[in-house]
Amino acid sequence: MIPVAASVSTYATDAVLGLIQGAVYGLLAMGVVVIYRTTRTLNLAQGGMATLGAFTYIALRERGVPTPVAVVAVVAIGAAAGLGIGQLIGWPLRRANATVKLVSSLGVLLVVQSLVGIIFGNVPRSAPPLVSPDSITALGITVPVDGLVVLAVAAASAALLHRLLTSTRLGLHMRAVAADPEVAALQGVNVRLVTAGSWMLGVAIALGGGILLGPVLRTVAPFLLTLIALQALGATLLGRIDSLSGALAGGLILGELVTFAQELFPGTQGTGDIAVFLFILAVLLLQRRGGLVVERA
Amino acid sequence: MSRRTAASLAALAAFAAAAAGMPSVLGSARLLSMSLALIFAVAALSVVVLTGWTGQTSLAQVTFMGVGAFVAARLMAPGVGLPLYLAAPVAVLAAAAVSVVVGLPALRLRGVYLAVVTLGFAQVMQDAVFNNAGLTGSQNGLTVARPVLGRLDLTSEHTLYHVLLGVLVGCCLLVAGLRRSSLGRRMISLRTTEVGASVRGIDLVSTKLLAFSVSAALAGLAGVLYALEVQSVGPAPFNPLQSIFLLGLVVIAGQRSVAAALTAGLLYGWMPPELTRHLADSTLGPNATNLVAGVGLLLVLIGREQLAGLAGRLPRGHRRSPRRLAVTPEITRNVPA
């Protein structure tokens, strides 16, 4: 199966492409973590939301809306949707058990996925380039310009998110709620505001991440994109769904794994998914019992 | 037989009688949706056992159904040519065996982690197995020929419908019996706290694996029935979103009882075709169904949570509360101040 003549430059190119893909997974995963930390709700709808973002962006661009306006509009839609979900679903279910919260995100997924189908139809679309359709070649590595833009945007978003959580009042309150919602409330933190803020942030990241997936995957199909939730969720496991850097690292590893699995085993079907599944199993099972895989009450 | 058992049996008999009479009331045109409703009720029973009882959130139940359907279809195809009465048990056992493989990591995982693992498994099965013509034997799905078993002519839609109903009633009795058995009680005890259950001497490993395999066997059986009813097996009906949809319907219906499974099955079989019939644009059908299911699911979850806040303090009706251990005054008195 392993191609004999695959040159070093092929692998180097794969490594860069994997990094680009992984950066988007990492970004989506950070969105999952932001929501999970404060609300203990694992957002299985992250992929569906990314689909909504990707398709809204494509639809706006097809109607001649300039790129920056379209990006801002999509992220704003995400923030508004997140606010709605946080207030209407997250807040009433704040004391529900883990299973109920999980199933509620399945409900959100069903709604988002059907809305995408109703508004945009269930047909795959080709994504317009973000900045330019060209590629640049350096040191024998050919990389699309858009890929580098994606990498830069993902890195900047990660840095911003880190800054938001560590050096703003909202970030401080989010960390307080993550540690203990009740004590945080007693200390004067507005838990409802923080819940809504987390959902806003997480869903905005999901929709924005959807925009970035376009140039990475070239064509976006609603169904396939919805299932990208698996990559996002798998990436979060590396950091117990609690750590932003863990999620980013998990995303980058998954990006490389998926790209190299497809390069090394071109004949097998579903290599990407198998790689992600094995990564998830390995992360969950190799961690010490009672170590990383511990569910907080 | 206690009064409750008698009442449950009477309800099941009434359901069976009503379902048996349905084709003559509604006409043969809707026989397909009625048959699908019965089949998905069997699949919903598998969710009741696993999620409703043991609290394990599996997002791969329809995938196990797919395993049953594909194995049965492959074994009954001309190349192998096993008769249905041999192919069906093998398919059911195959689904159960596959579920043990997924259940093994589940021994250490709970809640959200198990959900992620089963979602991953469902995606792998969909992409690498169900969609793989090399493994399934055909690009466009396998065709399944309905057999004639003695006096049972399964090629007749009406006969098949009544066979499906018989199998469903059998499964309901089986699941109800399981619920009353010691294994059933052990499964229930996992739901609230696994640590508590193991402290009481319940073997978590065997109980969880049994829950997984019983549940997957039911799903696999539903898959075999599905293959017989639709007469062709392709990857589309077994995609991961279908498991999510089914789980959602079971939760809407109440998730813990046989009645919940029957309701969820009816919703699964009926909602898509009925919603599609009333829509001008037929391509909206599946999307509209998912939208209704999603909104319904969220309303039920939120409504139940709001009610729980109020009703948690009210007396629980006819349910007997467990006997409290009496705290003896001596012990209280001997505690140093």
Average pLDDT over residues B294-307: 88
CATH number of the CATH domain containing B148: 1.10.3470
Which of A101-105, B78-82, B279-283, B324-328 comes out lowest in average pLDDT?
Answer: B324-328
pLDDT of residue B174: 94
B36 falls within a domain: yes
B170 falls within a domain: yes
B136 falls within a domain: yes
pLDDT of residue A39: 87
pLDDT of residue A178: 84
From CA A46, how far away is CA A44, in angstroms rounded?
Answer: 6
The owner of tokens 């009544």 is B162
pLDDT of residue B107: 78
Beta carbons of A93 and B128 less than 8 Å apart: no
- The number of domains in chain B is 1
pLDDT of residue B26: 75
| Angle value at C-alpha A270, between B231 and B134, nearest 5 degrees | 50
Q: Is some CB atom of chain B closer than 8 A to the CB atom of A266?
A: no
pLDDT of residue B328: 44
From CA B27, how far away is CA B29, in angstroms rounded?
Answer: 6
From CA B17, how far away is CA B181, in angstroms rounded?
Answer: 27
Reported as a single tens digit per residue, the pLDDT across B81-125 is: 888 888 999 999 999 999 998 888 777 776 788 888 899 999 999
From CA B216, how far away is CA B231, in angstroms rounded?
Answer: 22
pLDDT of residue B327: 45
Domains of chain A: 8-284 (1.10.3470)
Reported as a single tens digit per residue, the pLDDT across B130-149 is: 888 777 766 677 888 888 77
B327 falls within a domain: no
Beta carbons of B297 and A110 less than 8 Å apart: yes
pLDDT band at B312 (very low <50, low <70, confident <90, very high): low
B312 falls within a domain: no
B332 falls within a domain: no
Provide, rounded to the nearest whole percent, the portion of chain B with pLDDT above 70. Answer: 88
- What is the Cα B206 distance to its own chain's centre? 20
pLDDT of residue B177: 92
B38 with B19: CB under 8 angstroms?
yes
Distance from CA of B8 to the nearest CA of A (A): 27
Beta carbons of A273 and B128 less than 8 Å apart: yes
Average pLDDT, chain B: 83
Among the partner residues A98, A114, A115, nearest to B111 by beta-carbon distance: A98
Reported as a single tens digit per residue, the pLDDT across B176-232 is: 999 999 999 999 888 877 788 888 888 888 898 999 999 999 999 999 999 999 888
Distance from CA of B243 to the nearest CA of A (A): 10
B324 falls within a domain: no
Question: In this model, does residue B248 exceed pLDDT 60?
Answer: yes
Question: In this model, does residue B317 exceed pLDDT 70?
Answer: no
pLDDT along chain A (297 residues), means of 10: 59 83 92 89 89 90 86 93 90 83 90 88 80 76 82 91 88 86 86 90 92 82 78 86 86 90 78 88 71 38
Question: In this model, does residue B318 exceed pLDDT 70?
Answer: no
B329 falls within a domain: no
Tokens at A225, concatenated: 């994109």
